Structure 1
Amino acid sequence: MAIDYIPHTGSDREAMLAALGLGSVDELFEDIPPALRLGRALDLPPALTEPELVAHLEELAAANAGARKVCFLGGGVYDHFIPSVVPYLAGRGEFATAYTPYQPEVSQGTLRAIFEFQTMIAELAGLDVANASMYDGATALAEAAFMAVNVARRERIVVLGGVHPEASQVLQTYAGGQGLPVTVVPVDPEEGTTDLKALDEVLAAGDVACVLIQQPNFYGCLEPAPEIARRAKAAGAMVVVSADPVSLGLLEAPGRYGADIVVGDGQSLGLPMAFGGPHFGFFACRAEHVRRLPGRIVGRTVDRQGREGYVLTLQTREQHIRRDRATSNICTNHSLMALAATIHLAALGPRGLRQLGELCLHKAHYLAERIEALPGFRRVFRASFFKEFVVACDRPGFDPAAAALEAGYLVGPDLGRWERERRGQLLVAVTERRTREQMDGLVAAWGVTA
């Protein structure tokens, strides 16, 4: 457990006060009104030595119940392994302490890292260009819908029912401020994927700007994305796909089956779960739409002497152009998190990303088969899935989430949080970190196999 601790000695404080032209610490704070000062010494316990302090902090950390549980949690944030090279390099001072490059061309290292990130995201998405990253996957999806509305010159936004309900809520909040209508297409209750007949009925009106797809969807199911894209295109609508980046090691790149815009959340690429953030969003599109792309874009060029260099090519945001012409209200990009993803992807390489996807796929299917063999348990949806699936238990009086927690396993979330009729149905996610012993342990906690 590494702890940075920099004590200031008395001589250090005197030197700083002298540099400020002050005679005492009281002079430093004399502008603070007396009524706002504590007026007494802090009531603190005696000082600890460094070994005692480290031991105390480790004891506090161990009190976090989740730290001792095996994680099968799904729903958008996943317990993937992070190679040690990622935090080591991303935590270097020149990266971790860097700020937004307002004089960007001076920050060649930062710009080059962003350029490499953009290149990797564009390749994963199967599209021409990517930006320097977004805040998160949900806001990236909303920005993509706005971009599609501007390009298509239509107003109706269609979001499939398999999109994460919280991302859908963010989208509707954004759209409400602009007065844009949002239509939600339901999922087939048996399959867990989009009801194509319902989609056709919505598209028939001829006023749809875009169709928003999540692949795999919130329930872990694989949408018939190429067919959805074909139908949307035939109706003159743009196609936006929110993709799990790990799945793109196995699944076809969305740009190759017709997606105009590809977004997603990058937490799976070298970032910890971190209680939900901070993470980053990614955003890629076709070249003809580049001037409507939100956020920043870093480009590579050469100077007059032929030397390679990196520049901010586009900054189509409200801080840099007239507010009425801004394509987005995104004020920055999550550079440090995007850098971690870049290191992570570089460490994996194409073959490693595919192997990662295969591990998630095979382990998830192993666990699903074991759970379905348990008395009273069933998989809720019939559609194919990647690393996540929904289970329900029809055993009276048995609470699978509580039983798992008591045995040391975290599962969920419970879909009743968003859909009352699905109360008791649990999302179960399986990443490459889960071992056979851990999966068998969860099955054992839920009962003896039939």
Structure 2
Amino acid sequence: MRYLPLNENDRKAMLDVIGADSIDDLFQDVPEKARLKALVDLPKHQSEQAIERHMAKLSAKSVSAGSVPFFCGAGAYKHHIPATVDHLIQRSEFLTAYTPYQPEISQGTLQSLFEFQTQVALLTGMDVANASMYDGSTACAEAVVMAKRVTRKSRAILAPGLHPHYAAATQTLASTLDIQIDERDCRPGRDDHVIDHINDDTACVVVQSPNVFGEIIDLAPIAEKAHKHKALLIAVFTEPVALGAIKSPGEQGADIVVGEGQGLGVGLNFGGPHVGLFACTKKLVRQMPGRLCGETVDANGERGFVLTLSTREQHIRREKATSNICTNSGLCCLAFTIHMSLLGDAGLKRLAALNHEAACHLADVIDGIDGADVVNETFFNEFTVKLNKPATEVVEALAEKGVLGGVPVSRLTEGNEDLLLVCATETASEEDIHAFETALKEVLS
């Protein structure tokens, strides 16, 4: 947004138009205790050169993921992104954002979204996918709301291994829509027990695989039990590369599949923007939130693309809308599409194999260190380690030695202070793993 300088007369004129006496009147809904009493302690102005120098100094204090051995995951993953991806998404025609409601001038955007949807449907083993959501957590929350519409029941069961941030986003949205959230205790080895809590009042069961602890969950028996009680299985993932190695959620009986697409084509980006993936079975498509691009033919019989079905997020009758989502992560899903196209089916499977091999090697190394034990029986490229010291202390000590050694589970959920999430992707070299091993031995000794 451009900086638009206004003088006192300009501000008074605008306040007069809207019938407000002062700018403070616009913030009446903000609690008094939450308001700033004075200006933020920042210099009022500096020259452009001085600001650049200051920002460069601040940036130098950060440690980028690619500059040191890096083993963090917990929902956002460091993968190698081919230079081709960045080159293509920066083309001016892709950087110009607009809503593709006029197909005559939007064929490029619509085609790229259609290809994205096709890739997501194939990846998840589902019939249809939408044109993306904001991120994995909001996709998860929207899936639960969708399940309520489909089943007309209001009880949603969240498996213990669902990422706590996804659970929190779901709880926030559900609290406004009279949806009862049944959460399980978030700790390893508990997801299989979720099957015992499914009954006739259940609208959906939300299960993540690989889950937040890295465990791979067999979704088939959970889907079978859910379907017996006319409930939906919502399958969640945070690492899309994992779907190149494990059986797709669709093959295991999932009704809705949601997840984070950041692992393909999209960098860590300090936590965002990322891209949410959303797919479902064909019979549920009219209840799916977000945009849906379809393929058609024009008056001359040529292949073309359009936004299909009703404009569900902007329904003329508000209660008929499927969501308030009225956009998509366009540039991020384009990056996802380009990266997937470069990999192809064989490339994705090879990438997944490299991830699993790196993680297996790292797990073997960690298991050989006194004071550290790998908890998982199954994993893809991320697993949980039980330490003889608080994980936060260990991570800080590793960082001082130049190794970003994982994410303490206690950062995501209360308790579990001695548990550490460790991830190894294809970017983890033998030298990186050796550096981690050396540093961890010193810290735990």
Counterpart of 1:184, as a letter, is E
Q: How does 1:130-279 map to 2 (within 5 A)?
A: 130-186=129-185, 192-196=189-193, 199-200=195-196, 202-203=197-198, 205-243=199-237, 244-279=239-274
CA–CA distance in 2 between the matches of 1:122 and 1:333? Answer: 17
Deviation of 1:42 (Å): 5.9
Counterpart of 1:389, as a letter, is F
Q: How does 1:17-166 map to 2 (within 5 A)?
A: 32-33=7-8, 43-44=46-47, 61-66=59-64, 68-166=67-165
CA–CA distance in 2 between the matches of 1:320 and 1:346? Answer: 34
Deviation of 1:69 (Å): 2.9
User: Which secondary structure state, in structure 1, belongs to the residue aligned with residue 292 of structure 2?
Assistant: strand
Larger-gyration structure (1/2): 1
2:419 counterpart of 1:425? yes
User: Which secondary structure state, in structure 1, belongs to the residue aligned with residue 204 of structure 2?
Assistant: strand
Residues 399 and 56 (structure 1 numbering): CA distance in 2 closer, same or farther, change over 3 Å?
closer
Counterpart of 1:339, as a letter, is L
Counterpart of 1:98, as a letter, is A
Alignment check: 8 A CA contact 1:193 1:222 kept: no
Deviation of 1:59 (Å): 6.3
Alignment: residue pair count? 407
Q: Partner of 2:338 in structure 1?
A: 343
Alignment check: 8 A CA contact 2:289 2:313 kept: no
Alignment check: 8 A CA contact 1:241 1:262 kept: yes
Q: Runs of at least 4 residues of structure 1 off by over 6 A?
A: 45-48, 55-59
CA–CA distance in 2 between the matches of 1:354 and 1:301? Answer: 32
Residues 184 and 383 (structure 1 numbering): CA distance in 2 closer, same or farther, change over 3 Å?
farther
Q: Partner of 1:288 in structure 2?
A: 283
Alignment check: 8 A CA contact 1:185 1:195 kept: no
Residues 163 and 303 (structure 1 numbering): CA distance in 2 closer, same or farther, change over 3 Å?
same
User: Which secondary structure state, in structure 1, belongs to the residue aligned with residue 314 of structure 2?
Assistant: coil
Q: How does 1:400-439 map to 2 (within 5 A)?
A: 400-439=394-433
Counterpart of 2:144, as a letter, is A
Counterpart of 2:64, as a letter, is G
2:323 counterpart of 1:328? yes
Residues 295 and 397 (structure 1 numbering): CA distance in 2 closer, same or farther, change over 3 Å?
closer
Match of 1:313 among 308, 328, 334: 308
Alignment check: 8 A CA contact 1:185 1:199 kept: no
Alignment check: 8 A CA contact 2:135 2:259 kept: yes
Deviation sequence 1:364-384 (CA, Å, 0-9, x none): 1111111111011112x3430
Counterpart of 2:62, as a letter, is N
Deviation of 1:317 (Å): 3.1
Q: Partner of 2:36 in structure 1?
A: none
Residues 62 and 386 (structure 1 numbering): CA distance in 2 closer, same or farther, change over 3 Å?
same
Deviation sequence 1:165-206 (CA, Å, 0-9, x none): 01001111111101111112346x6x624142x531x21x31
CA–CA distance in 2 between the matches of 1:161 and 1:325? Answer: 32
Deviation sequence 1:323-373 (CA, Å, 0-9, x none): 110011112111110000000000010111111111111111111111111
Deviation sequence 1:137-188 (CA, Å, 0-9, x none): 011011111111111221111110100001001111111101111112346x
Deviation of 1:222 (Å): 0.7
Deviation sequence 1:217-259 (CA, Å, 0-9, x none): 0001111222222222222211110123111111111111100
Q: Partner of 1:297 in structure 2?
A: 292
State the superposition RMSD in angstroms: 2.6
| Percent identical residues | 43
CA–CA distance in 1 between the matches of 2:149 and 2:50? Answer: 60
CA–CA distance in 1 between the matches of 2:252 and 2:46? Answer: 64
Alignment check: 8 A CA contact 1:141 1:167 kept: yes
Deviation sequence 1:50-80 (CA, Å, 0-9, x none): xxx8x99766643323353322111101111
Deviation of 1:118 (Å): 0.4
CA–CA distance in 2 between the matches of 1:218 and 1:228? Answer: 18
Q: Partner of 2:373 in structure 1?
A: 378
Unaligned residue ranges in structure 1 (runs of 5+)? 1-27
Deviation of 1:421 (Å): 2.7
Q: Which moved more, 1:315-324 or 1:328-337?
A: 315-324
User: Which secondary structure state, in structure 2, belongs to the residue aligned with residue 65 of structure 1?
Assistant: coil
